[in-house]
Amino acid sequence: MREKNQVVLPLDLGICIPEGDFVFKVAEICESLDYTELFNTYLRNWRKVNPITMFELMVFGYVEHKFSSYAIKKACSTDIRFMWLLNGEPTPSVATIKRFQSEKLSEAIEGLFYQFVNKLYEMGEVKYKNLFVDGTKIEAYANKYTFVWKSAVEKNLAKLEKKISALLSVLSERYGFSESISLQECYEQLCLQAQWINLVFASGKGKHKTQLQRDIEVLKEYIDKKTEYYSHLGKFGNRNSFSKTDTDATFMHMKEDYMRNGQLKPGYNIQIGVESEYIVGVGSFSNRTDVNTLIPFLNRIRKHTNRKFENIIADAGYESSENYLYLEENGQNCFIKPQNYEISKKRSYRANPYTVENMEYNATKDEYTCPNGRKLKFRRESTKTTENGYTVSTKYYSNDKCGRCPHRDKCHKSKNGYRTIQVNNVILEHRPKTLEALTSEEGTLLRMNRSIQVEGVFGVLKEDYGFRRFLTRGKKNIETQFFLLAFALNIEKLCNRTKKGRIGLDLFALNAS
């Protein structure tokens, strides 16, 4: 075996890196950012690796699809591009990388990401005009069988309260306590009695336990169980489930259902906003549906960019009266596909006289007329206030009785003998306007671009990057990981668009699909 001449190693490692490699763009972008927020997370100067260098290593690691701390640490020892980024600094340990990501970077990553977005705006790549919104569910780093259901906890807590009430009644009579004594007070009183008589607690097989010891142990068991249930209820929030391994994760249906049995898995609903193929907004939610995520998501983007997008383009999963009202109040054009968009294109639907949209409506009398000429009159109106502070009203209309109406089987299947319809006036008012906007030349172009750009980003992340499951736990940590993913993808997209001469082009032409 011939000897290796180590003297030929160049002093500048950058000479050995091919021109145009992504690592140069990573260094260029990262070194142009303001790291004040990141430096504020350190009580004193860092001990080993400069935080800016650490951030560059993390971003480039994600560009190279190295998502774990072990993979990044190994690359720092074997990949010349990572060595070039280190610039002579010591190779960080796995613990250092993990600690930097979870304790330091999590406090500053969102600000760094939106700094990059604003730089893309200065380059003319992002124009804050067309925001394509969509969401996907990504599996959490949690065990699939550690579920806790809100309904089960509430049911078991109610059963436990009955057991506690019955037990306190027995113990009050046995030890002469007040009938109003609480569970904790009863437990403390019995423990004091055990101390006064110097009770030695028996344990083990064949050991006889006194009645006092058995009562104390039952009370302790009930106290612990009650504390556990209330702890669970405090973690649910607006959710119906969470995972014991990652309490921020919610059990959801995933598209990757390997058993094909509709199994629920712990995960997060990740929302992204895309413009010009770049991710310009990221948010994680515990909602299983997308409809209630749009307003907080848009507010979050606006908070960090101080700008609002002119056009909001989303699929039918985002249609709701509060989303219509929000976009109208903020002067943003709505291109949200109505939930009945696909079926409304069918001739049979347009010709169906039994749908609410096709029924004759008398605004003066506030009543609908069914195909048989019967009047469905206004009965009542219900209102509710949403989480975002919007008041949503629903009107109910019904007739007296359908009787032997020949249209009954086609009109409704109600067992009450008459038909009741629910009408949301906000949706009925905005749907025709939105439909007109979607079918216009601009709307057709935007709808086509939504399917290419935002759904294309998810395709790249899941198929090309192979990212289908988070590697960290907790909402804050998984957001840090996804912001790094978005940062890496944007750098890669910028390089590719520069090579292909697509700088400044924000939309694909209609024939691109």
Q: Could you give the CA distance from residue 1 to residue 222 in angstroms, rounded to a whole number?
A: 73
Q: Could you give the CA distance from residue 188 to residue 195 in angstroms, rounded to a whole number?
A: 11
Domain residue limits, the chain: 6-125+478-499, 148-243, 342-425
Three-class secondary structure assignment of 215-264: HHHHHHHHHHHHHHHHHHHHHHCCCCEEECCCCCCEEEECCCCCCCCCCE
Q: Residue 208's pLDDT is what?
A: 86
Q: Which residues contact 144 (CB under 8 A, 6 or more apart)?
A: 263, 265, 266
Q: Residue 429's pLDDT is what?
A: 87
Phi–psi pair at 421, nearest 5 degrees? -120, 145
Q: Could you give the CA distance from residue 384 to residue 421 in angstroms, rounded to a whole number?
A: 18
Profile the chain (513 residues) by mean pLDDT over runs of 10 residues.
52 72 91 93 78 94 94 92 89 92 93 96 94 94 92 96 94 88 92 89 81 92 95 92 94 76 87 96 92 94 94 94 93 92 83 85 87 86 84 86 77 79 87 91 94 93 92 95 96 92 88 57
C-alpha angle with apex 228: 158 to 182, nearest 5 degrees?
60
Q: Residue 171's pLDDT is what?
A: 92
Of how many residues is the chain composed?
Answer: 513
Q: pTM to 2 decimals?
A: 0.89
- The residue among 67, 195, 221 whose CA lies nearest residue 138 is 67
Give CA torsion, residues 225, 228, 230, 232, to 10 deg.
-140
- The torsion region of residue 148 among left (phi > 0), alpha (psi -120 to 50) and beta comes to beta
Q: Could you give the CA distance from residue 125 to residue 275 in angstroms, rounded to a whole number?
A: 9
Q: Residue 1's pLDDT is what?
A: 46
Q: Residue 5's pLDDT is what?
A: 52
- The residue among 94, 112, 117 whose CA lies nearest residue 55 is 112
Q: H helices within 396-440, ranges in order? A: 408-411, 425-439
The 8-class DSSP code of residue 450 comes to H
At which residue do the structure tokens 């774990």 appear? 68
Tokens standing for residue 229: 């249930």
394 strand-pairing partners: 382
